[in-house]
């Protein structure tokens, strides 16, 4: 028993440090059946629409990650502060806690998650809880539990309670055999990380639940997301955030990817806008359940040149990390998002020059930027 408790503490600590929005209990995780609990066999239900209620009642899982807080802010402006509940297993900062409803929610605790949905009359669920690529590769069984078992809990509850469910996917859902320039919505994927595999699993399970049970499942494949609010975490696309911090602090930046490594990127405001737009789109307008979205595609060299327009003396060097480079070389260079633009009118606002100007305006100006301007 002491060994079990020790393992439990170690796993809990790892989860809390990763920000995945869930925890592991010493009680074994229950295996779920193929079909959702208490779902009628004829699957004649559908999601609550705006004609049936004034505003959706929203739950965001894993809400303290890069996107959850920003999404909650956007949705509260649109639907009212008390209609959007942010949740996670970590304690929020004061500004997050006092900005609107926040509750503890563990996606691996089926009963607790179900109670939250029932007690708060939830109609929309944004499922952001996940163990990301680096932590996932270090602990595959844990990533499998969080990213796959947690997803199954969410799918079952969403189907049972007629929710409109959003689950994000990623450029990491593609692999080295995928077409890279451009990458269409439907093609060979075959990722080589547990994170990517779990995202492909989420895409397919969501589509299956839609056709089998009528679940209103919606998914976007995000490119690399750039935000001034979050610190770089060592991910493959994080160089595109790190360069701004280094340009301001030291005027020197060392990139861990080759200068000509092209990847699709997006400013966070475009990402959040696309997420709301696809959730508000009429069901009959959607020709598929998972869409690529894109805004821009650039290389480290192109980004550095644009940054140097604001900080001319920025010195850029390259020290290639073999692991990150291999991952980047297996990912799309450009996303084909023509279906999103055709079906529900997706249109991005930020290209590379706007992105760079916006990042510097948020991170603050120092003497170097002031002199450049």
Domains, the chain: 130-371 (3.40.50.720)
Distance (Å, rounded) from C-alpha 54 to C-alpha 268? 27
Contact 257, 373 (CB under 8 A): no
Contact 6, 120 (CB under 8 A): no
Confidence bin at 273 (pLDDT 50/70/90)? very high
Check residue 234 and give its pLDDT. 62
Report residue 353 CA to chain centroid gap.
Answer: 24
Check residue 127 and give its pLDDT. 98
Check residue 233 and give its pLDDT. 62
- Report in angstroms the alpha-carbon separations of 252 from 276, 312, 320, 330, 355: 37, 11, 16, 28, 20
Closest by CA position to 224, among listed 143, 152, 328: 328
- Whether pLDDT at 159 is above 90: yes
Q: What is the mean pLDDT of residues 109-136?
A: 93
Distance (Å, rounded) from C-alpha 233 to C-alpha 225? 12
Contact 80, 143 (CB under 8 A): no
> Of 128, 195, 209, 222, which one is the catalytic site residue?
195
- Whether pLDDT at 217 is above 50: yes
Is 98 an annotated catalytic residue?
A: no
If you count them, how many residues does the chain have?
Answer: 373
Confidence bin at 364 (pLDDT 50/70/90)? confident
Mean pLDDT of the chain: 86
Confidence bin at 136 (pLDDT 50/70/90)? confident
Which contacts (CB < 8 Å, 24+ apart) does range 197-200 have? 198/130, 198/136, 198/143, 198/144, 198/147, 198/148, 198/151, 199/147, 199/169, 199/170, 199/172, 199/173, 200/169, 200/173
Check residue 87 and give its pLDDT. 97
Scan for tokens 């509850």, then name that residue: 157
Confidence bin at 209 (pLDDT 50/70/90)? very high
Q: What is the mean pLDDT of residues 101-124?
A: 97
Burial class (CB in 10 A: 0-12, 13-18, 19+), 176: middle
DSSP-assigned letter for residue 183: B
């Amino acid at each position: 028993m002491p060994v079990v408790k020790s393992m439990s503490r170690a796993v809990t600590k790892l989860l809390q440090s990763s920000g995945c929005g869930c925890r592991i209990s010493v009680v074994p995780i229950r295996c779920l059946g193929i079909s959702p609990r208490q779902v009628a066999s004829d699957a004649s239900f559908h999601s609550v629409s705006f004609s049936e209620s004034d505003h959706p009642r929203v739950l965001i899982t894993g809400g303290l990650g890069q996107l959850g807080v920003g999404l909650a802010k956007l949705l509260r402006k649109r639907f009212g502060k008390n209609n959007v509940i942010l949740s996670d297993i970590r304690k929020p900062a004061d500004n997050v806690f006092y900005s609107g409803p926040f509750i503890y929610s563990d996606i691996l605790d089926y009963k607790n998650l179900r109670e939250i949905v029932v007690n708060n009359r939830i109609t929309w669920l944004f499922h952001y809880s996940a163990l990301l690529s680096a932590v996932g590769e270090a602990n595959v069984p844990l990533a499998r539990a969080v990213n796959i078992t947690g997803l199954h809990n969410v799918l079952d509850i969403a189907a049972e309670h007629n929710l409109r469910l959003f689950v994000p996917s990623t450029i990491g859902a593609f692999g080295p055999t995928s077409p890279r320039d451009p990458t269409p919505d439907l093609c060979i994927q075959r990722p080589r990380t547990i994170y990517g595999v779990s995202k492909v699993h989420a895409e397919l399970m969501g589509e299956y639940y839609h056709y089998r049970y009528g679940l209103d499942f919606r998914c976007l494949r995000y490119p690399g997301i750039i935000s001034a609010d979050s610190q770089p975490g060592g991910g493959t696309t994080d160089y595109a955030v790190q360069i701004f911090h280094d340009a301001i602090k030291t005027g020197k930046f060392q990139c861990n990817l080759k200068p000509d490594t092209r990847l699709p990127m997006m400013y966070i405001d475009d990402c959040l806008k696309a997420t709301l737009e696809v959730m508000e789109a009429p069901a009959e307008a959607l020709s598929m359940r998972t869409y690529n979205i894109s805004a821009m595609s650039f290389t480290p060299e192109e980004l550095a040149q644009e940054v140097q327009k604001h900080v001319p003396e920025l010195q850029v060097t390259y020290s290639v990390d073999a692991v990150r480079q291999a991952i980047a070389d297996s990912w799309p260079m450009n996303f084909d998002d023509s279906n999103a633009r055709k079906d529900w009118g997706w249109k991005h606002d930020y290209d590379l020059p706007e992105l760079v100007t916006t990042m510097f305006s948020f991170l603050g100006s120092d003497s170097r930027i002031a002199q450049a301007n």
